[in-house]
Structure 1
Amino acid sequence: MQVQELLRLGVRADNDWHVVTQADGSPLRPRSLTHAVSEFLKEWRITLHGLRHSHASHMLASKIHPKVVQERLGHSSIAITMDIYSHLMPNMQEEATSVDGALRAAINKRADDVG
């Protein structure tokens, strides 16, 4: 699809053609990209680690399962993820309390029905 679009624009891609280049048109090296991103982040006072933390925080706030977050972050265990990010899930206690209440109500109803 990209090749067709390039041909439509009159560009013929070959082995020397690159989608992303440096300002002078030379190939972008991975280190150059890291440097460019680092400079951008420094200007905005953001770190790559901060972006990683924000990503994890937003996933958990969006109720993405912590196991998925653990896998995306590459933590060796879900315990590590939960140790770091559980404070971002304050509604977990409220949800657990509502489950407890529902279970108690069901047990009490069952006892009343039997007894």
Structure 2
Amino acid sequence: MTQTLTDQRYSFILDANQDIQNYWIRANLNVGEAGYNNGINSAILRYSGVDNAEPKSSVSSGVLPLNETDLVPLENLGAPGFPEQGGVDYSLTLNMLYVGLSWTYDLFVAQCVKLSS
């Protein structure tokens, strides 16, 4: 089990290399009803040609942290821009403000300014 926190989004490639059968995919949420009773917070991954039955796997008790430094892109496009002062492709500033129970965002396009050395 890997813990993914709020606002973390990841795409992944599933290497379907296990025995041909049905498997549970489970995701306990931070809010709402926890657990997996009666199929809540669960989905079934079925291999083609397998009977339409519930998986027999049990719930894992361990939690593995998602270490972002271990993530590998499918294609490494490199960082945008040039590795020099002012080499950014598009500069912007994102200001965030927490008001009540909501975040607000203001987006400003920044101007590149040459700094004296």
After TM superposition, is the score higher than 0.5? no
TM-score (structure 1 length as normaliser): 0.22
Higher relative contact order, structure no. (Cα contacts within 8 Å, ≥ 6 residues apart):
2
Structure with more helix by fraction:
1
Task: Name which one, 1 or 2, has greater alpha-carbon Rg.
Answer: 1
